[in-house]
Structure 1
Amino acid sequence: MSLTSDPPIDKATGPYTTVPTGHDALTVVPVRHPWRWVAVAATAVVLAQFLHGLITNPGWEWDVFAQFFTAGTILMAVWVTLQLTLYGTVLGFALGIVLAFMRLSGSPFLRVVAHAYIWAFRSIPLIVQLLFWFNLAYLYKELRFGIPFGPGFFSFDTMNLVGAMSAAVLGLALHQAAYAAEIVRGGVLAVDDGQSEAAAALGIPRHRQLRRIVLPQAMRSILPNAANEIISLFKGTSIVSVMAIGELFYQVQVVYGRNGRVVPLLMVATVWYILLTIVLSVLQHYVERHYAKGAAR
């Protein structure tokens, strides 16, 4: 006697055809998304209309755009914008790292000082900070060094101490440091405490734990937010135009103030901002991929 059963036979097709059973008998019907295609079509129509307007509308004045896009004054202004971004980022994140570890320290005094700094510089608008530094000589005509609340040993005039470019870098860096501190602190807190405890159990020094264990893992959380801050700082450099610094937006304003071609000159600034933001985004991608080694498949 056999314990196996014969497969079911389809009478319509003959005795040797097996009838599908279980999952094989199910008819697979792909999920259809009609509204998704409607949204795609509507978006394509809107985009086509926008591109058509860019090409055919004479108000864009693409000949004027091409004339000034690579002009010497514009390229110099782009270089000033990149300098402001670089100095603000390096100084801001350097101070931000110090503030972050002050907030994470065991000293109540350091925590209070760092928290007060972050609270103050995040509360005051950037443009107000820039104008304060720019008018430092009006507030303090001279700086004196000596005994606190007593006689001074030497002093110097503040009229030429902080120029427009120095005030812009100082304001951007100090403002950026407040946000960078919270980004770094959040990244460090995202690392499991067991990592530091295991390193301490192995006798690894504290500074080496931070440099070789904590920070490489924290960078995975820090980088996306840090990159957003850098890009925001890059675009935010346009605010220093109130100090008559020849960065990109200020220089564009000067040019269209002379020739009256507002729209094409604004497009010059817009395209430069877009191109440089793309470059920063590509750099962000490769840096994130470097720190994702061993964590992402």
Structure 2
Amino acid sequence: MELALVVVVIAIALVFDYTNGFHDAANAIATSVSTRALTPRVALAMAAVMNFVGAFVGTEVAQTVGKGIINTPTGEHGLVIVLSALVGAITWNLITWYFGLPSSSSHALIGGLVGAGLASASTVLWSGIVDKVVIPMVVSPAVGFLGAFGLMTAILWVFRRSNPGKVNRGFRLAQSLSAAAMALGHGLQDAQKTMGVMFLALLTTGHVDAGDGIPLWVQIAAASAISLGTYSGGWRIMRTLGRRIIHLDPARGFASEAVAATVLYVMAIGLHAPVSTTHTITSAVMGTGATKRLSAVRWGVARGIITAWILTIPAAGLVAAGCYALAHLILE
């Protein structure tokens, strides 16, 4: 029974990873597609490949998710907690995808873990959550906004006397690189979160030890699932991120992607923090838009997105807690 439950949990973790890919495909490519730097299919293929590669750049974020959010009981009870967390995260992903809101799959997963952990009276590692989740959750969008505003301001000053047509053509080419960097950062961050959950499931059943690294087969499975999800695309969210917040030009698209990718790398490799690629790129897009004028950003759309950000952790946590309670009743 326990082995069958492990297989089910890992399968659902990969389903979450797939939904993460199509939910967050817009993170890497929406700006490049909206500025016509890349065609949608070329952009999706590039993002899928870079997502796969990024998943192997490091495992620091996976270790944080697997061991730094909750202490789960061993055996079937621990697996039910992990399973409930995944169902909560997937449910919120599908809701926000349906409404075209670029919310955070990462925070949905963390909210699911916290909600299921609280419902099961497991130990929630609040200090780790504050250090690795809450503080980076606030800092990364702020840095994305200010960094993108600063970089775009510098670009406007440097190219103030240049021919606009030539500048746009140059930045369309540059966007191929910045979009690839963003997709690599997405794989580095988001594929690792699923690795962490799979590692947590294996840890609760004694298939791995706490001091072990992430098994290679777990890395390959997570990288493959998110890449397939990314290639399937998330067109609803892509329209929101690429067109509805502001009207992007190639220079602003490049600045948004370059700054967001840098934030993702620093948070993952330097701080081992599982930050939201969605929050980071969306705030960077807002930052470049604000260099036109504050009214260029459609703040009504932005307000809806920010509301989804605030609701993500508690909403996913509530669904996960409900799933745990239902599973607990069934298994008793």
* TM-score with structure 2 setting the length: 0.28
Q: Which has the larger radius of gyration?
A: 1
TM-score of the two chains, using structure 1 as the length reference: 0.30
The structure in which a higher percent of residues are helix is: 2
